[in-house]
Amino acid sequence: MRPSTQASGPARRRVATGTAAAFLGVAVAFGNGLASPASAAESTTLSGIILGVGANESQRTVTWYSADDTAQKVQLVPTAQLANGEFPADAAVFDATGGANIATSGGYNRHATITGLKEHTAYSYRVGGDGNWSATYSFKTQDFEGNYDFLFYGDPQIGSSGNIAKDQAGWQDTLDVSLGANPDAELLVSGGDQVETANTESQWNAFLAPDKLRQYPWAATIGNHDVGGKAYEQHLYTPNTDRSAPYYSNGNPTSNTSGGDYWFIYKDTLFIDLNSNSYATSQGGGGDAAHINYVTDVINKHGSEAKWKVLVYHHAIYSPAAHAKDNDNKVRRTDFPTTFSKLGVDLVLQGHDHSYSRSYLIKNGQKENPDEQPGAADVYPGPGGVLYVTSNSASGSKYYDITKPDSSATSGAGNGADPLNPDSYWYNSTQNQEHVRSYVKVGVRNDKLVVENLRSGTCQAPNAAVELGQVNCTNTPEGKPVGSVVDKVTVHPYHGNGQDLQVDVPEAAPGEFGWTIDGYNGLVDLGTAKEHDGEYFQANGKINPILVSDSRRSLAPWSISANVTDFKDADKSFSGAYLGWTPNVLQDGAGAKASGSVASGYDDNGQGLSVSRGLASAEQGHAKGKAKLGADLDLKIPGSVNKGTYRATLTITALSS
């Protein structure tokens, strides 16, 4: 037998403890380790379940509502370990926290953070507690390094059309279309305005209805339609969130409003998400100045941990429709861009204006290169060049038409015309409004960002604003079908005046920890016990040597232990407690250190080897290698034991993390 447990690879990962066992002697037995079936789920008491992003790629959050104020948790297991759909007894458990919802929502909210995920693994999870579990949902992890795609969705704003069911249908279809075309997308990023009315649970229920939101992590963003109540915070828990007063528009986190700024790192991307509803100190919060300080602090502390810096907030400062001329957006357009340029931000994702636009590269609030052409397929930002993208409606609940440039200015906070394209604002390279649903796909690559705006619908249903006659639509499935490209640009980063060098290092084999009997696993024959003055019998011997091998990169600790059954001969027996031993290391290696001696229970009225006792172990950080372990056995049997040939089984267990 060569059982083993494997160690983890790169940093920010955790590997669960594993065990392996073999037996010396003639008996071999295995247990399946599965619990008896859980009680039937009462999923009607648990609702609004949504998978969220964690602080890094090895984490996820789960948020849900409960009708009862009870202790709850998330159970998690690799999907391959489910037995007939049942969770094993050793499934990972993550305790939930939360509190009472606002009166109009009713019930209670709960959230938990899943940690220690491994890459390339399918997981299944459920929420609740013993006897009251939700249905089981699944998600998968992918490579924790390298290229990946994420999808960005603008303003589902369920309820905005006046018909929740139609809005939900469009939202569901966009998720189905986008993830059907991109099943390996790793994040779903929000542009804000999940719902029309902040505390209307029927709208939240419709937004949360698609099962895709339980399979892919949602990176929430707060919009102006989300901010007016606590439901946003109660439905959408986010990592590393600063919920102090400056990041609330009214400066009061305890009021009936939502807020907060947060950040997370996914692979090589630092995401920073802002509550752009707080933009002026006259409202009571910290305004744009507080956000600038927050972004500066996060990038100074964590910017070096990532290749890319992506900001997300709701209120688009460079967009093509009516909101582009709002006074509050003109304030943000003055406050934000210079700081974003100085901090090396690569991409800014925005919502709010229910239309699509992609800016020119913007540096310090102005077009970086006056010669950059409208709709360029490739752009090359110099130091400080930032791309701003505004996404159209993901649900079809509301669209805003593109507005004409005015004469307020051609740079800075104004909305003047583009000299190269007078029908567009000076800052927009591309703008589009077809009154069809769309989403943005961002391909994060080693040395470029690929940004695409893709159609997720046509004029046909589901498209609530069109169906209800609120806007006209002339798009045809033949001319501009679902999945077709509205706009695509590749951003090639600036590398200074030198030459940057890059090399991909593949993941090394993780190595392996295991043990085996060294040589032939014959019967350990202790011979004929010798009588001592009629008081007891004594026999001595040695276990078959055990070879331990550890080639893991993690250099994690390990231990080998053993315990013995009772000695039996037909219907006669005596306790395994009478067997003791003195472990020793026969060949140094793998950090092996022998455990202490264990006396026969005959000597000290103890339990001897009838309970698990250490043979040898190694500490964290030990050297790789091999070790050979042995032990001298000492068996003392009371003189009252009947004559016979007795056998027992020594079970050996290996543990490592």
Strand-pair partners of 128: 73, 133
Q: What pLDDT is attached to residue 474? A: 86
Q: Is the pLDDT of residue 323 over 70?
A: yes
pLDDT digits (tens, 9 = 90+) for 246-264: 999 999 999 999 999 999 9
Percent of the chain with pLDDT over 70: 93
pLDDT digits (tens, 9 = 90+) for 19-70: 333 333 322 222 222 222 333 334 458 999 999 999 999 999 999 999 999 9
Nearest by Cα to 150 from 235, 269, 51: 269
Show the domains of the chain with their CATH numbers: 43-143 (2.60.40.380), 145-491 (3.60.21.10), 513-656 (2.60.40)
DSSP string, 591-649: T-EEPPPB--HHHHSS-GGGS-EEEEEE-TTPPPEEEEEEEEEEEEEETTSPSS--B--
Q: Is the pLDDT of residue 106 over 70?
A: yes
Q: Is the pLDDT of residue 581 over 80?
A: yes
Interatomic CA distance for residues 109 and 203, integer angstroms: 17
For residue 261, which amino acid is it? D
Q: What pLDDT is attached to residue 15? A: 29
Under the banding of pLDDT at 50, 70 and 90, the label for residue 407 is confident
Mean pLDDT in the chain? Answer: 91
Q: What pLDDT is attached to residue 507? A: 67
Q: What pLDDT is attached to residue 11? A: 32
- Exposure string over 362-384, b if 16+ CB within 10 A, otherwise e: bbebbbbeeebeeebeebbbeeb
Interatomic CA distance for residues 312 and 114, integer angstroms: 24
Interatomic CA distance for residues 38 and 27, integer angstroms: 32
Q: Is the pLDDT of residue 408 over 90?
A: no
- What's the predicted TM-score (pTM) here? 0.76
CB-count burial class (<10 Å; 0-12, 13-18, 19+) for 115: middle
- Contact partners, residue 145, CB within 8 Å, separation at least 6: 10, 267, 268, 507
Under the banding of pLDDT at 50, 70 and 90, the label for residue 505 is low
